[in-house]
Structure 1
Amino acid sequence: MPRTDQLLADPRLRLAADRLGRDLVKAAVTRAQGRARAGEITPDRVADAAVAELPATAASLTPVINATGVLVHTNLGRAPLSRAARDALLAAAGTCDIEFDLDTGARSPQRGRGVIEALRRAVPAAGAAGVVNNNAAALVLAATALAGGGREIVISRGELIEIGDRFRLPDLLASTGARLREVGTTNRTTVEDYQQALSDRIGFILKVHPSNYRVEGFTRQAGVAELAALNVTLVHDIGSGLLAPHPLLPDEPDAASSLAQGANLVTASGDKLLGGPQAGILLGDEPLVRTLLRHPLARALRVDKLTLAALEATISGPLPPVARSLTALTGALSDRAERLAATLTAHDIPARVVDAEAAVGGGGAPGVTLPSVAIALPEELATALRHGPAVRRGESPAVAGRVAGGALLLDLRSVDPADDERLVTAVLLAAGH
């Protein structure tokens, strides 16, 4: 059995130690030695086995091609970043002028000026803008600063939402010390319901977009313009992060329209339909946004340089992947699918092109389906594509599809065209080619 120090001297493992750290490489060597002692490999193959199992990075996260047809897949990290955002993130990864004025050599008076200016350009109706670490943080900050200490937040019973992992909005708001004043019913709430709840104890009215479900039938909800006419601070949580109206999503609220209709503050997510990194976006009246950002809690909720860089590049740069996937033409998807299926069938892998339905996901545009095209493969390939030997060896990204009707469907609406060849390679390796 080769000694550990001899194995670590192997040029491949020595370079890997520089890239990944000695502890991680040594652990791989130890596991390979254990395999040799168990008779799974011969002693002369220990170094090769250790090299084969080393990850691409020192982090444990595995790259995944999202072929589920869900464009903003929460369990897959929501929005994939654009090339511009990734480049900006990498540039900011070292030391940068996040709080440093290069002209004067002194501390900069505004942190994240670039992304604030980008948001103001994208939503001119906003008097000011701010960024915290997610949309829940934006709501916590608003509730604490405007209604902490027992003041009331007026909210419709139909908007007391629960999202994934048993996360309930009422619990979040109550944790700030604010009191919830529920009005209306689950299916019908009128502006008169809000008006009757007004008193000198009101901190603000909160309107929440129920982004992951729909209530249909005998329904009514007060609009932003109606609530703004009550002359009480109005906070609108639009959720999914559209900054302006989108023709394919007419029922999805957007920041520009909400502010134009009279909302004083809009909160939104950065990593959903906006297509950027996880962030909570604040847009609205300048005095109100300034009050929130000067609150002591804002320090605990602020974002780092990587988020600021990626978010600014997402807003100012070319269309991010989510936006491109949303507007992809089915004809282009069919052409891609036919080409990829032909390559797979040429390698004796049963592959056929089928029509499919994709979804926005991430708590956005509930009930909206998008016509799509998928490649149907044998169902038994699903596990190998997610976690087969090629994935564990780092030779292939993991691929997540969806199983339906006894077949594995790889929906191309959620796959970046730049990943088509990687997708084919992954399928070939999963099938043992």
Structure 2
Amino acid sequence: MAQHDPRRAIPRTDDLMRLPEVLEATQRLSIAAVKARVRAAQDRARTGEITPDAVADELIRTLEERGASLTPVLNATGIVVHTNLGRAPLSPAAQQAVEDASGYVDVEMDLDSGRRSKRGVGARQALLDACPAAEDALVVNNGAGALVLATTAFAFQREVVISRGEFVEIGAGFRLSDLMTSTGAVLREVGTTNRTHREDYAQAIGEQTGCVLKVHPSNFRVSGFTSGVGISELRTVAETAGVPLIVDVGSGLLHHDPALPEEPDLTSALEAGADLVIASGDKLLGGPQAGLLLGRAEIIQKLAKHPLARAVRCDKLTLAALEATLTAAQPPVQQYLHADPDHLRVRAERLAHHVTQAGYRGISVVPHDGRVGGGGAPGVPLPGWAVALPEMVAGALRTGSPAVVGRVHDGACLIDLRCIPEHDDDRLATAVIAALGGHP
């Protein structure tokens, strides 16, 4: 007699699709998405992960999960601009602007005349109001897109003069030098890793020079026997040669911040003589992912008219969020950067008290320095406090609801409240207690 194959008992797709819970889910999800979850549940039974009679329950469970694959998290790492967690969190005003812009909006229409208008007028004006040192501004999809556009427009099959000490590699092996050469530009390296002088630039500029580029080495610092050339000095070199001076400041800080004394800002770079300044919108500016280009009017107009500008332009949601970030109250990034250490300690002690009251011992509050993150202000500490939990709860916190990402360090899971909105403190306490439930 042939042995019975339990896989024959796996429910058929048609039968599963007729379940009341599945029919209800088709009002929220596409048929394709529902059927994909049906197949996933059936496959788990085929591989023996679950029994055939558990397929329906597994399917219903997955249908109750969030439709999007991105999971909101509470950032308890103390890193303000955390690239792995989406960099800058949007302000309530920016979130509302995104929601308002999610339908039909007048992104390229003048409602008074009914005719087509320029794109991103509001975001552009908000940038100029926030940074009066710029004559004009342009917004593209991200910082890399801004650099590609500028390099292509001014140095296609020409040379970009850049210091060797400013060759930057950021996360995931992404190198700015590779990005620029991919546009057809030729990099003309000057100086050395630790020392570059004004004469190095002056001697390198020639008939093939397209532009002079200064890049802020945002994610590292070189100390010791070093020297570099400031923007004001480079201004005279570039102006004498008749080529534009482009400065990539990286983090998007609009104005000098005493808390980050060595972090370059857009306004200072423009006032020092940069023709064009490039930055990201989702770092210290605290807005959405975007590439910001500010500078002389003729420079910006040349970039705006370049064919590549169409390929790197941003969408209506980005424009709406950026404008709201610039015109509304202080965004979360700035609040977290300047959080009061004493108040952070009060919140940390309150969290520790809740956990202790729930019956868990050995919970302590310890000093903990946060970080800017996102390549900004490397090595600059942001004094604060954290709740030290057993290291083994880190995984349970990440997979809990809400998901909480802490910092695992020196055998402990540190919960820093710097980047957690205060109204979420009770949710955080509940999540911590739930995670500790499996680790007494």
Answer whether TM exceeds 0.5 for this pair.
yes
Percent identical residues: 57
* 1:45-79 CA distance string (max 9 Å, x none): 76554333336542211222111111111111111
Question: Counterpart of 2:196?
Answer: 189
* 1:215-246 CA distance string (max 9 Å, x none): 00111111111111221411000000001111
Question: Counterpart of 2:6?
Answer: none
Question: Counterpart of 1:414?
Answer: 419
* 1:396-429 CA distance string (max 9 Å, x none): 1321111112111011112222322222222233
Partner amino acid for 1:383? Answer: G
Find the aligned partners of 2:38 and 2:364 in 1 and give their Cα distance. Answer: 42
Q: Mark the runs of 5 or more structure 2 residues left unpaired by the alignment.
A: 1-8
Partner amino acid for 1:376? Answer: A
Question: Counterpart of 1:338?
Answer: 349
SS at match of 1:281: strand
Partner amino acid for 1:157? Answer: R
Q: CA deviation at 1:26?
A: 4.1
Determine if contact 1:154/1:197 at 8 Å carries over to the other structure: yes
Question: Quick one: which of 120, 123, 131 aligns to 1:123?
Answer: 131
* 1:319-357 CA distance string (max 9 Å, x none): 211111000001111111111111112222343211101
SS at match of 2:381: strand
Deviates more, 1:295-304 or 1:25-34: 25-34
Question: Quick one: which of 58, 61, 75 aligns to 1:66?
Answer: 75
Give yes or no for the alignment of 1:289 onto 2:297.
no
Deviates more, 1:342-351 or 1:353-362: 342-351
Mapping of 1:31-430 within 5 angstroms? 43=53, 49-54=58-63, 56-108=65-117, 110-149=118-157, 151-230=158-237, 231=239, 232-350=243-361, 351-387=363-399, 391=400, 396-430=401-435
Q: CA deviation at 1:22?
A: 3.1
Determine if contact 2:22/2:63 at 8 Å carries over to the other structure: no
Q: CA deviation at 1:367?
A: 1.2
Find the aligned partners of 1:98 and 1:209 in 2 and give their Cα distance. Answer: 33
Determine if contact 1:325/1:416 at 8 Å carries over to the other structure: no
Q: CA deviation at 1:176?
A: 1.4
Find the aligned partners of 2:375 and 2:339 in 1 and give their Cα distance. Answer: 20
Q: CA deviation at 1:175?
A: 1.4
Give yes or no for the alignment of 1:16 onto 2:21.
no
Q: CA deviation at 1:430?
A: 2.4
Q: CA deviation at 1:208?
A: 0.5
TM-score of the two chains, using structure 2 as the length reference: 0.90
SS at match of 1:357: coil
Find the aligned partners of 1:27 and 1:198 in 2 and give their Cα distance. Answer: 59
Partner amino acid for 2:266? Answer: A
Paired residues in the alignment total 423
Q: CA deviation at 1:29?
A: 4.9
Find the aligned partners of 2:355 and 2:51 in 1 and give their Cα distance. Answer: 32
SS at match of 1:273: coil
TM-score of the two chains, using structure 1 as the length reference: 0.92
Deviates more, 1:233-242 or 1:23-32: 23-32
Q: CA deviation at 1:30?
A: 5.4
Find the aligned partners of 1:428 and 1:399 in 2 and give their Cα distance. Answer: 12
* 1:263-308 CA distance string (max 9 Å, x none): 0000000111111111110000000011011100111111111111
Deviates more, 1:281-290 or 1:31-40: 31-40
Find the aligned partners of 2:288 and 2:23 in 1 and give their Cα distance. Answer: 34
Find the aligned partners of 1:60 and 1:276 in 2 and give their Cα distance. Answer: 22
Query: Residues 343 and 53 from structure 1, CA distance in 2 versus in 1: closer, same or farther, beyond 3 angstroms?
Result: farther
Determine if contact 2:165/2:195 at 8 Å carries over to the other structure: yes
